[in-house]
Amino acid sequence: SEQTTYVSTLILYIVQNMAEQSVTLSSQEGTKFEVPLKVANMSKLVETMTEDGEVDEEVPLMDVKAAVLEKVIQFCTHHADPSNPFSDIEKPLKTANLAEVVTEWDVNFVNVEKDMLFELILAANYLDIKPLLDLTCAKVATTLKGKTPEEIRIEYNIRNDFTPEEEAQVREENRW
């Protein structure tokens, strides 16, 4: 019918318009990134901030540094493309080899310095981007798999603040 055709055309117009809309994301330092709305909306925080359709103003992301936001946008741009969906990561991880769990692109994406990896975890959590949070946490988990607490302390520069007695008690309570 004519009404169905009109509605279909209207929906198509809206969808095309949404795909072309963009939003400006502003980092902690004030660096601005113009990002397609469908990419930015991978962040539930940004999606909530722009759901009224008002995308004229920039979205301030004061807890995210520019270099980290740039990486986050890279991740979201890649996975917003329907040909690169992010597959859920099975938990607990069955292997310490991340390449057996995620795509090669994702493995390369998280092949970064520890500081950047932890900044990405914080940003993914703050921005509420579950796929990025899952990926970055899986990367950390693969580095921990099979290591003793002492090896983990050395790797991540964690000071052991347990007395020998407290440590013995914790080990006793968590034996398997």
Give per-residue pLDDT as tens, 53-111. 666 678 999 999 999 999 999 999 999 998 998 989 988 888 889 999 999 999 999 99
Of 3 and 119, which is predicted with more confidence?
A: 119
List Cα–Cα distances, 143 to 15, 42, 61, 103, 135, in angstroms: 42, 27, 29, 17, 13
Shortest CA distance to 61 belongs to which of 128, 107, 106? 128
pTM above 0.85, yes or no: no
What pLDDT does residue 78 have?
Answer: 95
Percent of the chain scored above 90 by pLDDT? 53
* CB burial of residue 90 (10 Å; 0-12, 13-18, 19+): exposed
Average pLDDT for the chain: 87
**What are 108's two structure tokens?**
């390369």
Mean pLDDT of 121-144: 95
With H, G, I as helix, E, B as strand and everything else as coil, classify residue 26: strand
Shortest CA distance to 46 belongs to which of 11, 78, 22? 22
